[in-house]
Amino acid sequence: MIVKEALSEPESIEFPIVGMLEGLNSDGLRSLIKTMDIPNMIEKTLRYPGITKYLRVLRDTGFFSYDEVPVGKNLIRPFDLTAALLFPKWEMQPGEADITAMRLTISGKENNKAKTYTYTLLDRYDSETKTTSMARTTGYTCTAVADLILSEKYNRKGIIPPEYIGEVGNNFEYVKEYLEARGIIYQLEIK
């Protein structure tokens, strides 16, 4: 296993409609690195160009540190100060809308031939229901899985990494159709 520093290896990624985004190493693989035998996996967070430079300045100067530092007569964690200053600036204001851009590329051999599946998602804030895109894409996925469990289409017990759900029956298709019914549509390209 090779561990790379967060914010390392930024790359420019062209995304339909949105334009150029910056992909940077982050920690989204989580359970996949232990539950599936996939020799090469990379997860990158997509943000607008230039974000890596700004985040590195904050990180390299200690603003994300959890180690307390003296400030006057008090000890504070720089991370707490950074969060207190930045989180209010990052809150969505009335009239603002978010988007979710995601691309999942799976390459390998299928029937002894090279094949690549690319799933692309571009989802937007739902102004009618006032639901953020991030809430739509994560929350509706969770409710789709809850629906599978409640309808007894999935009954594994314990802590369940998401990838286990797709191993059973038509669960992948069920979740995909559940999302599509709510306007969350992954475009599939096969090469």
Q: How many CA atoms lie less than 13 Å away from 105 in the CB half-sphere?
A: 9
Q: How many CA atoms lie less than 13 Å away from 102 in the CB half-sphere?
A: 17
| Tens digits of residue pLDDT in 4-63 | 888 889 999 999 889 999 999 887 777 888 888 888 888 889 999 999 999 999 999 999
| Tens digits of residue pLDDT in 105-139 | 999 999 999 999 999 999 999 999 999 999 999 99
Q: Where are the alpha helices (DSSP H) in the chain?
A: 32-35, 51-60, 78-90, 133-150, 162-165, 171-180
Residue 116 falls within a domain, yes or no? yes
Residue 99 falls within a domain, yes or no? yes
Model pLDDT, residue 39: 83
What's the structural domain count of the chain? 1
- CA dihedral sign of residues 128, 98, 175, 109: positive
Residue 102 falls within a domain, yes or no? yes
Model pLDDT, residue 32: 85
Cα–Cα distance, 34 to 21 (Å, whole number): 29
